[in-house]
Structures are given as C-alpha cells and as structure tokens.
Amino acid sequence: MALEINIDGKSSNVELLGKEENKYQVSIDGKIYNVDVAMVEKGVYSVLYKNKSFNVELVRGKEPKTYIINTLYNSYDISILDAEAKYLRSRKDDDMDDDDAISSPMPGKVVKILVKTGDKVKAGDTVIIISAMKMESEYKVKRDRVIKNVMVKEGDIIDGNQPLIIVE
C-alpha cells in the first residue's frame, strides 16, 4: 500500500514493501528503510533503525489525518494525503483563502476587539487582542483589508484556529 505524506509542506511517496510482526520495510521516495516499530505508549512509537533508538511522539492535529510529530529535537507538521484528503483540500481551496480569517493558534480569551464590520484597516494594524496564560497577543492584518465580519465579542472564550474576524 502506498500513500502520499506531506511533511512541513513537502510531499513524499511512502510505500509499505513488507511487514513481519513489528518489522516493517518502508520506501520513502524510493529510499528503503528497514525499521522495527512498536507503539509503546499511547501516542508514542519506539522506532529502531540501524539499531538506533528513536522515540517518536504523535499528536493528532485538529484536522483529520494530520499530525504534529516530535522527535527528540525536532517537531514536524505531517498530513496524510489520501484520495479523500486531496478531494477535501481541493474543495476547501475553492471555498476560502486561509488568509481571509484571523485566528489564534491557541485557545484563549478575547480581551479587546479594535475593529467593527465595515472598517477599513491598513497592513500591520492590530484587529484583536487575545489573552492566554497571563500573556496577551495582538493579531494584525498583513495587508490593507476591509472587515467583513466579527465572529466573536470581548470576553468570549475561544478555541485555537477558530475564525475570529473575517476580512476581505
């Protein structure tokens, strides 16, 4: 079985060539790896490759079939691009440009909203301030924009990646 896997924005073709117990032979873009893989704890895989021991932590992302993967010193964003994922992605691209929604990468509380629907803002203007864990972060627009919709109000508790302000 073969899959396309995207790591930090770059796609690779990954294919399972053979499997016996927890010994796997996997090809990544034609390079063959013989590995011994065991899920040792929930979300933690022990991978032995050329007798080197790797601990790989998998955290499932917000979107289906996405992972944040941590090795000892590195952290990667990974998504599995099967037929379904590719289809959904192509549809999403048509729907909305990611840049059209201002969101915060972490959950928090809305401290202040500095704009209202219809406002014209300039590149670099702060539109919303979010507080999480005693730290306030300001979110700015990258280009000159018009505020299309404000989805939250001051004092609201918000999720990470939730659209807060729609701009155009």
Partner 1 sequence: MIKKVLVANRGEIAVRVMRTCREMGITSVAVFSDADRNSMHVRYADEAYHIGPSPSNESYLVIDKIIKTAKKSKADAIHPGYGFLSENAVFSDRCKKEGIIFIGPSSHSISTMGDKITARRTITKAGVPVVPGTTDPLTSDEDALKVIKKIGLPVMIKASAGGGGKGIRLVKKEEDIIPSLRAAKSEAKAAFSNDEVYVEKYIQSPHHIEFQILADRHGNVIHLFERECSVQRRHQKVIEETPSPLMNPEIRAEMGKHAVAVAKAADYEGAGTIEFIVDDNLNYYFLEMNTRLQVEHPITERVVGIDLVKEQINIANGLKLSYKQEELSQNGHAIECRIYAEDPDKNFIPSPGIIQHISEPLGFGVRHDGYVYEGYEIPMFYDPLISKLIVWGKTRQEAIDRMKRALFTYKITGIKTTIKFLERIMNTPDFINGNYNTHFIEKNHAFLQDVDKCDGDCKAMAIIAAFIDHTNRIAGAQSTGTSGSDGSNWKSCGRRKSMIRL
Rounded to 5°, the CA angle 158-159-161 comes to 120
Which residues inside 126-145 make contact with partner 1, applying CB under 8 A?
132-135, 137
Q: Is 1 in the site for partner 1 (CB under 8 A)?
A: yes
Which residues share a beta bridge with 20? 23
One-character DSSP codes across 19-69: EETTEEEEEETTEEEEEEEEEEETTEEEEEETTEEEEEEEEE-SSTTEEEE
The answer to whether the CB of 109 falls within 8 A of the CB of 162 is: no
- The site that binds partner 1 (CB under 8 A) totals a number of residues, namely 55
Q: How far is the CB of 89 from partner 1 (least distance, A)?
A: 16
Q: Which of 78, 101, 111, 151 binds partner 1 (CB under 8 A)?
A: 78
Q: Which of 18, 23, 28, 97 binds partner 1 (CB under 8 A)?
A: 28
Cα 13 to Cα 10, 27, 36, 65, 126, distances in angstroms:
10, 8, 20, 16, 41
Mask of contacts with partner 1, 102-131, x by CB under 8 A? ---xxxxx----------------------
Q: Is 83 in the site for partner 1 (CB under 8 A)?
A: no
What is the C-alpha separation between 166 and 168, in angstroms, rounded? Answer: 7
Q: Is 39 in the site for partner 1 (CB under 8 A)?
A: yes
Residues that bind partner 1 (CB under 8 A): 1, 3, 5, 7, 12, 14, 16, 22, 24, 26, 28, 31, 33, 35, 37-45, 47, 49, 52, 54-59, 65, 67, 69-76, 78, 80, 105-109, 132-135, 137, 157
